[in-house]
Structure 1
Amino acid sequence: MCGIVGLYGHESARLFCYQALWSIRHRGKGSIGVAALHVASNTITIAKQLDFTDKVFQSENFLEIEGKAFIGHIRWPTQGKKSKRNAQPHYTQGSRGRIAVASNGDVRNLDKLRKFLDEHEIRVYSSNDAEVISGLIYYFIDQKQKTIAEAIAEMLKMVNGAISAVFMADWEDALYVFRDSHGFRPLLVGVVDNRYMIASETCQFDKVGARFMREVDPGEIIKISDEGLQVAARVKSTGRHFCSFEYSYFQRPDSIIQTPNGGATREVSNYTIRKELGVQTAREFPVINCDLVIPSPRSGIPAAIGFAQELNIPYEEAIISEGDIGRTFIESNVKNRTALARKKYHIIEDIVRGKVVCVVDDSAVKLLTVSTLMTLLFEAGAKAIHFRSAAPMYKNPCYYGVETKIIHMLAARDKTLEEMRRIVGSPDSLQFISATGFRQVCEKFGTGFCFACFDGNYPE
């Protein structure tokens, strides 16, 4: 999971790029990078830094970068370790010039593509898949004399995986945008002051006063220039397979999802969907004689509200989250993740002491956060604790942009519900919304989703 932004031709492109990246820092804080196209000198300048903090934009390399078009990226590592070399945007340099790419997603056939590039003498210096994407595009431009749009299309045909990306070349006054044929990861088009903007979430548009226009279609390649926005090419799509976990966890609750719905499109907030998932969870697994419903902050709040309202149980926010610690799900090291969770959460004891409480979360994948919360609530004097997840049991690895490829870290993969209950500290009950119920809620708001992490049916 990463986040991207692209701006072309706006006088405040650099400022808007930084503001838009800051608004999606929940999508990853491992690194931040921007690239700027300076048309007059035919140059692309890149600035990168590890660890995304509010001081990044005050550093000299970020303050001095200028250009007509900007692309930006924040990273949660899924391919390659956390390092400045693996930070995006990535570039490829050759006799034709320099190109730069920022991508959100994951490439499954990476080793095969690396070998292909090596055979054609295009060097890849990082372990990040975006540099492979950049190298493939450059191969088709430089060695096969393709146009940029044609080269992107040829690359998309070779890649097996998820790609939502922005691209620039130092010899062309334009910004390119493209998405894989399944549309796994979000990629959106907006307008601010009659200039086009690209984003991963609509909250980025809100941050700079832009208006959300539409999604980039699966397999679509867009060119943005002084002539406006045009569809430069398309590759064949087998249908939209948007990640349903974006609904339940990744995106900010105020971000809007645009979904196909009976030949038209429908716009709905993640908050509304998560609240409805909480309602469905309550219908499937109600808690009898419960005093309080408590959300796991902060992404569990909408589902907990829906759960509480459906069962007419009082709702209280008794778990306080240290906001500056960020999402512990992103941390792959078990010891670090457990320590962060312990530091991140605090219980308001007089709310839970002597009470039967139900904790509702948006999801429970590795169970480390759940285990920490159960321990803290018991220590705070809760009489009984029930746990409900508004996402199904996460049994299968994701190969399309989520760091869950390490199968043994998926608690539901090979454990029964009772075994998981004991692992997290033996709450009085532990339940997950059914995969069927989850799908029904998602499809209530539209069609074209990927549920592979829950049901094991990977799109072809």
Structure 2
Amino acid sequence: MCAIVGVFGAKKASTVAYYSLFAMQHRGQEATGISVANGENIAVYKKKGMVADVFSQATLDNLEGTCAVGHNRYSTAGSDSAGDSQPVFAKYKLGEISVVHNGNLINKQEVRQELIDKGAIFQTDMDTENIIHLIAKSQEDSLVDRIKDMLTKIEGAYCLAIQSRSKMFVIRDRFGIRPLSLGKFKDGGYMVASETCAFDLVGAKFVRDVKPGEMLTFEEGQEPQSEMVFENVDFHPCAFEYIYFARPDSDIDGKNVYAMRLEMGKALARETPVEIDLVLPVPDSGVAAAKGYADELGVPFEMGIVRNHYVGRTFIEPTQAIRDLKVKMKLSPIKHLIKGKRVAIIDDSLVRGTTSTQIVRMLLDAGAKEVHMRIAAPEIKYPCRYGIDTPTKAELISANYTVEEIREKIGATSLGFLSIEGLTQSLGNERNYSLVSFDGKYFAGGNEDTTGCAGGC
């Protein structure tokens, strides 16, 4: 779920990268970093924390150069130390290199052990460090050929921005699991970012999405050079980008996130209608789906739960104790709207059940007559291997209980999920979406993984 950005040919590339990462803060809050190349060397600055807290104007002024790559970290597993933040930088035979990565390498352990057996020394738990070792140890003569060699040895989900002292290379895996888009500045510079909302903030014009299996090479004085580095492209964009990850104003692979969530809400209403007085969203990612649900049923929609925006997203916090506390800190009901009403509360997904239980209890305490929980996504029954924090089946409530048992556990009057068919119809059946969390069909890397994600990006 990390955010990456790559900027090339911009006068103040570090500032562009900073604002781009700020726009994509929702994709990771644990650490952030930027590296800048000026043709002669690469400078890196990264720390734990959020973008606005980590970078000062003085720091950005010291990162001089026209090429920058940046990263917001959301860890799928492993350490949350500052050492596990990105970009990952190294000096090697051909010079200096810096790498940022969004995704999860499913063969991380096998590759790492092979590298260790050959004498490699690792300093982090990140799968991203595998990438830089593979490039450094390749016997190919040029960096571009070393990158291609590296790509033959890794499997899984990845969007990469790789920076040398004078060039930038951008790659999207052959499945296109994670999003990546190309933008252009009026003065001719270019950027890539995980979400198009970053373009809007820095004044870049969307050009197109990076194709699955494509590598873009950026070099001074030239237009970006495109090369398909995989013969067998099998496009599986992640449905969770539309359900939860992305900002509603972003366009992911040509589809607006808000519009897709609205359609999911309408489909949910058709599949799980209920007699109610009011529809409420769980802010903020449940808003569009709740609007669609209310519109389809012809029931009033109200923002009946107030969110404290100074508290981070509970899903990406690393410990359950912090998640529990932050639900109470983050959400507060408007009792005037809720008292005596039959309400439907719409959320984007249900993972562990902790948040849903507290929200139902909160609404009942506020005087709701009935609380009908509706989830604008299918039941999450399988761990994801491609970069979502659902480590084991034991933590997934839908993997262990029936819908009725979950309803009893969370205390709702009724509970309904969007079907897989309803989801795919909402998104458009013309694509073969990655639905592994819902159907357990692992198209990359073989069979179901019950141990969960092993990567650290």
Query: Shorter chain as normaliser: what TM range?
Result: over 0.9
8 Å CA contact 2:237–2:433 kept in 1: the answer is yes
- Alignment match of 1:113 (pick from 104, 111, 115): 111
Which residue matches 1:35? 35
Q: Percent identity?
A: 36
1:169 and 2:164 are equivalent in the alignment: yes
1:79 shift after superposition: 4.1
Which residue matches 1:432? 417
Q: In the aligned structure 2, how far is the partner of 1:65 from the partner of 1:116?
A: 35
Q: In the aligned structure 1, how far is the partner of 2:142 from the partner of 2:384?
A: 33
Residue identity opposite 1:416 in structure 2: T
1:155 shift after superposition: 1.6
8 Å CA contact 1:100–1:169 kept in 2: the answer is yes
8 Å CA contact 2:16–2:202 kept in 1: the answer is yes
1:53 shift after superposition: 4.7
Q: In the aligned structure 2, how far is the partner of 1:363 from the partner of 1:392?
A: 8
Which residue matches 1:15? 15
Q: Hey, which bits of structure 1, 4+ residues long, moved more than 6 A?
A: none
Which residue matches 1:263? none
1:441 and 2:439 are equivalent in the alignment: no
1:277 and 2:271 are equivalent in the alignment: no
- 2:125 alignment partner, SS class: coil
- Alignment match of 1:239 (pick from 208, 212, 234): 234
Q: In the aligned structure 1, how far is the partner of 2:118 from the partner of 2:291?
A: 56
Q: In the aligned structure 2, how far is the partner of 1:374 from the partner of 1:279?
A: 22
- 1:17 alignment partner, SS class: helix
1:109 shift after superposition: 1.1
Which residue matches 1:84? 82
Moved more, 5-14 or 385-394: 5-14
Q: In the aligned structure 2, how far is the partner of 1:70 from the partner of 1:299?
A: 30
- Alignment match of 1:414 (pick from 386, 397, 400): 400
Q: In the aligned structure 2, how far is the partner of 1:164 from the partner of 1:295?
A: 32
- 1:98 alignment partner, SS class: strand
1:200 and 2:194 are equivalent in the alignment: yes
Structure 2: 5+ residue stretches without partners: 445-457
Q: In the aligned structure 1, how far is the partner of 2:140 from the partner of 2:291?
A: 56
**1:325-370: CA deviation from partner (whole Å, max 9, x where unpaired):** 1210112311110111111000110000011000011111111111
Q: In the aligned structure 2, how far is the partner of 1:147 from the partner of 1:235?
A: 19
Which residue matches 1:44? 42
Q: In the aligned structure 1, how far is the partner of 2:391 from the partner of 2:251?
A: 28
1:277-356 paired onto structure 2 within 5 Å: 277-288=264-275, 290-356=276-342
Residue identity opposite 2:264 in structure 1: L
Q: In the aligned structure 2, how far is the partner of 1:364 from the partner of 1:358?
A: 15
Which residue matches 1:222? 216
- Alignment match of 1:188 (pick from 172, 181, 187): 181
1:368-387 paired onto structure 2 within 5 Å: 368-387=354-373
Q: In the aligned structure 1, how far is the partner of 2:87 from the partner of 2:54?
A: 16
Which residue matches 1:450? 434
- 1:279 alignment partner, SS class: helix
Moved more, 294-303 or 330-339: 330-339
Residue identity opposite 2:427 in structure 1: C
Structure 1: 5+ residue stretches without partners: 259-266
Residue identity opposite 2:106 in structure 1: R
Which residue matches 1:127? 125
Residue identity opposite 2:209 in structure 1: E
**1:52-96: CA deviation from partner (whole Å, max 9, x where unpaired):** 152322175444211120000000111431111100001232233
- 2:292 alignment partner, SS class: helix
Moved more, 122-131 or 50-59: 50-59
8 Å CA contact 1:104–1:163 kept in 2: the answer is yes
Q: In the aligned structure 1, how far is the partner of 2:299 from the partner of 2:388?
A: 34
Which residue matches 2:454? none
1:95-110 paired onto structure 2 within 5 Å: 95-110=93-108
Residue identity opposite 1:186 in structure 2: P
8 Å CA contact 1:92–1:131 kept in 2: the answer is no
Residue identity opposite 2:359 in structure 1: L
Q: In the aligned structure 2, how far is the partner of 1:48 from the partner of 1:92?
A: 14
8 Å CA contact 1:56–1:62 kept in 2: the answer is no
1:40-79 paired onto structure 2 within 5 Å: 42-58=40-56, 60-79=58-77
Moved more, 199-208 or 185-194: 185-194
Residue identity opposite 2:340 in structure 1: G
Q: Summarize the Cα distance change of 1:146–1:410 in structure 2 as closer, same or farther, 3 Å threshold.
A: farther
Task: Count residues in correspondence.
Answer: 442
1:430 shift after superposition: 0.6
**1:2-29: CA deviation from partner (whole Å, max 9, x where unpaired):** 0010101111312111000000100011
8 Å CA contact 2:357–2:409 kept in 1: the answer is yes
Q: Which has the higher contact order (CA 8 A, sep 6+)?
A: 2
Q: Summarize the Cα distance change of 1:164–1:137 in structure 2 as closer, same or farther, 3 Å threshold.
A: same
Which residue matches 2:455? none
Which residue matches 2:203? 209
8 Å CA contact 2:12–2:65 kept in 1: the answer is no
Moved more, 201-210 or 88-97: 88-97
Residue identity opposite 2:433 in structure 1: F
Q: In the aligned structure 2, how far is the partner of 1:325 from the partner of 1:52?
A: 12
8 Å CA contact 2:8–2:189 kept in 1: the answer is yes
Q: In the aligned structure 2, how far is the partner of 1:223 from the partner of 1:26?
A: 28
Which residue matches 1:252? 247
8 Å CA contact 2:77–2:391 kept in 1: the answer is no
**1:166-220: CA deviation from partner (whole Å, max 9, x where unpaired):** 00123xx211101111111111111012211010000000011111111111121
**1:132-161: CA deviation from partner (whole Å, max 9, x where unpaired):** 111112222xxx124222222222221121
**1:208-245: CA deviation from partner (whole Å, max 9, x where unpaired):** 11111111111211101121200245123341111100
1:418 shift after superposition: 1.4
